[in-house]
Structure 1
Amino acid sequence: MPFLTAPNWQISWTPLLVLGYLFYLLLGAMVFQLLEKQAETHSRNQFHLEKLQFLQNYTCLDRQALEQFIQVLMEAWEKGVNPEQNSTNPSNWDFSNSFFFAGAVVTTIGYGNRSPSTVAGQIFCVFYALLGVPLNLAFLNQLGKGLNARLITLERWVQQPGHDQVVQRLAVAVFLTAGTLLFLVFPPLVFSYVEGWSYGEGFYFTFITLSTIGFGDYVVGTNPNKHYIPFYRSLTAIWIVFGLAWLALVFNVEADLMEKFLQLKWHKPDLSLAEGSPTKLEDEPKQPRIHILT
């Protein structure tokens, strides 16, 4: 574990990194809420006023009136206003939603369903990401080192005398299965229950999110007809952070296995052409080369 050292004292900076990361997310959530919520309320009220005036002026829609109404709807969507919502619906920029957005920014998931509409919010978002993205990478790297240390400890245990290959494979399988259940199997059940999705849709959202692909076709907490529990999206953001570290670990294990497989393929022709003593392959590393993707 990394330490900060001084003449007469030393402290671990890992807890400071964790606290700093959480503080940064909380700070971003508060600023985004402060900058965007009032503008969203104004846009929502303006949209409903224009819709009311439109319906009062046009009792029978013709083609021109329909095109005008569609234009109003498009402008509302561009400003982040859901036409199905009214002024009594929860804000898209309350603290929970702002916290989720801040997490989507620093993790570079970028669903694309919500973005700052004010100039101040857009400028803040740029500088927030400028510092937040490397902070997120440092946090995930530190978290990945912790997971990697557990995996190395498990590997050393299974390689002790008396543990056959079946036990070794079983131990690694248990480690990977536990993470799979925690981050890929159980969360879709929760999302299916809360969001009304099928399990397949929940699993699709889970993987697309944790892999940072983030299409934005499925996003939690966006159904205007549902009443979500407080901090539902904030808890989801925390789950995403730890899920990112675990899935990055899995991806790197897969990449390491692929590299070894390709190296064996590349060495086979050299072994067949070698004369005299057979060519010796490079020694296998004693510890898995696992690093968080950056």
Structure 2
Amino acid sequence: MKTYVSCCCPSLIPSRETARFYLLFVLIALYMLAGAAMFSSLERGAELEAHRLWDTRLSDFSHEYNISCENLKSLLRHYEEARAAGIRSKPGRALWDIPGAFYFVGTVLSTIGFGVTAPSTGTGKVLLVFYGLLGCSATILFFNLFLERVITLLSSLIFRCRGRTARIGPGGRASEGNKNEEPKPSVYQVTLIFSVVALLVTCGAAALYSAMEGWTYTESLYFCFVAFSTVGFGDFVSGQREHHEHTWGYQVANCLLILLGVCCTYSLFNTISVIVKQWLNWVLRTIAWMCRSVAFCMGSN
């Protein structure tokens, strides 16, 4: 059956790589639809309630101080423009001094992009395009090299633990194929190690942020995942309070923790993606086996 189809319509049988690509695309689309349904059911009610509460407060404020809603909305639009330049209703640390700018470029190069700080000048926006293009590329290379160094370290540790166990061939000599061969950790071992390390870094960083930022521990864990995974919603941002401007130790620890967390999480995502790829290959093999079985049954009948 497969031979017949491949001879008549060879274009109908995609390669393994193409089939895996299509399968992954379908699964991601279904995963996104499921996520959209879940988060919509959870968050839509809160959004409607926030809109209702905001309209009520806006109307009450307008009547209490005898200000038209149009003028009040105009003031709020001006505030939104000023917010992009770093103006906040609550006092905060400077955004564009050297430490603040360093924190900004760190969020750019790590692709977090919290959105709290953004260039407001035309020159700054143009510069960011070229600066981010080179910087993000170099940072991704650094993350890949970090993963390679960790795998090399694990291989060395496994080699030392097992010792040199070369197979002895005829004449008492070690076989050529194994005398220089070093054991390498499996993708599951690497994933487990990165999972433990990422969990330890996240829990430790969450404890620090909970103490320094006044967040609950759950909020701190949420911030760590959003930051370390480079999602960067911007609803929680560390190191932006006014008193943090003078706590240099915390600023340094904050930058180092984010860098370490991003490295570990990026590496964890890479190893999980390898496992997902293996799972996709298994699904494709199962589908191919089922098709061959159906074709065999049809041919025997």
Instruction: Identify the TM-score tier after normalising by the shorter chain.
Output: 0.5 to 0.7
Rg larger in structure: 2
- Identity value in percent: 26
Higher helix content, 1 or 2:
2
Partner of 2:13 in structure 1? none
Q: Provide closer, same or farther for how the CA distance between residues 120 and 231 of structure 1 changes in structure 2, counting only shifts above 3 A.
A: farther
How well do the aligned residues superpose, as a CA RMSD in angstroms? 3.5
Contact 1:96 1:231 in 2 (8 A): no
- Of 81, 85, 96, the residue aligned with 1:79 is 85
Structure 1 CA distance for aligned equivalents of residues 188 and 115 of structure 2: 41
Structure 2 CA distance for aligned equivalents of residues 142 and 169 of structure 1: 17
Q: Does 1:120 align with 2:123?
A: yes
- CA displacement at 1:80 relative to structure 2: 2.1
Structure 1 CA distance for aligned equivalents of residues 86 and 261 of structure 2: 28
Q: Provide closer, same or farther for how the CA distance between residues 222 and 155 of structure 1 changes in structure 2, counting only shifts above 3 A.
A: same
Contact 2:190 2:271 in 1 (8 A): no
Give the stretch that moved more between structures: 115-124 or 191-200: 115-124
Q: Provide closer, same or farther for how the CA distance between residues 248 and 173 of structure 1 changes in structure 2, counting only shifts above 3 A.
A: closer
Partner of 2:139 in structure 1? 136
Q: Aligned letter for 2:106? A: G
Q: Provide closer, same or farther for how the CA distance between residues 186 and 228 of structure 1 changes in structure 2, counting only shifts above 3 A.
A: farther
- CA displacement at 1:82 relative to structure 2: 1.1
CA displacement 1:43-72 (0-9 Å, x = unmatched): xxxxxxxxxxxxxxxxx5522654454344
Structure 2 CA distance for aligned equivalents of residues 269 and 79 of structure 1: 55
Structure 2 CA distance for aligned equivalents of residues 72 and 113 of structure 1: 17
Partner of 2:241 in structure 1? 223
Give the stretch that moved more between structures: 117-126 or 198-207: 117-126
Partner of 2:202 in structure 1? 184
- CA displacement at 1:190 relative to structure 2: 0.5
Contact 2:228 2:265 in 1 (8 A): yes
- CA displacement at 1:244 relative to structure 2: 2.1
Structure 2 CA distance for aligned equivalents of residues 112 and 135 of structure 1: 21
Which one scores higher on RCO, CA 8 angstroms, separation ≥ 6?
A: 2
- Of 172, 175, 183, the residue aligned with 2:193 is 175
Q: Provide closer, same or farther for how the CA distance between residues 267 and 126 of structure 1 changes in structure 2, counting only shifts above 3 A.
A: closer
Contact 1:97 1:234 in 2 (8 A): no
* Secondary structure class of the residue paired with 1:102: helix
Partner of 2:260 in structure 1? 242
CA displacement 1:177-235 (0-9 Å, x = unmatched): 65134422211111111111111111111111111111111111223476661253443
TM-score relative to the length of structure 1: 0.59
Partner of 2:148 in structure 1? 145
Contact 2:206 2:217 in 1 (8 A): yes
Structure 2 CA distance for aligned equivalents of residues 188 and 96 of structure 1: 22
Partner of 1:62 in structure 2? 67
**Structure 1: where are the runs of 5+ without partners?**
1-59, 163-167, 275-294
Partner of 1:91 in structure 2? 94
Q: Does 1:104 align with 2:107?
A: yes
Aligned residues: 208
Q: Aligned letter for 1:190? A: L
Contact 1:99 1:234 in 2 (8 A): no
Contact 1:221 1:228 in 2 (8 A): no
Partner of 2:214 in structure 1? 196
Structure 1 CA distance for aligned equivalents of residues 79 and 248 of structure 2: 29
Contact 1:111 1:215 in 2 (8 A): yes
Contact 2:202 2:225 in 1 (8 A): yes
Q: Aligned letter for 2:263? A: A
Structure 1 CA distance for aligned equivalents of residues 187 and 268 of structure 2: 16
Contact 2:191 2:271 in 1 (8 A): no
- CA displacement at 1:145 relative to structure 2: 1.3
Structure 2 CA distance for aligned equivalents of residues 247 and 157 of structure 1: 27
TM-score relative to the length of structure 2: 0.58
Q: Provide closer, same or farther for how the CA distance between residues 157 and 269 of structure 1 changes in structure 2, counting only shifts above 3 A.
A: farther
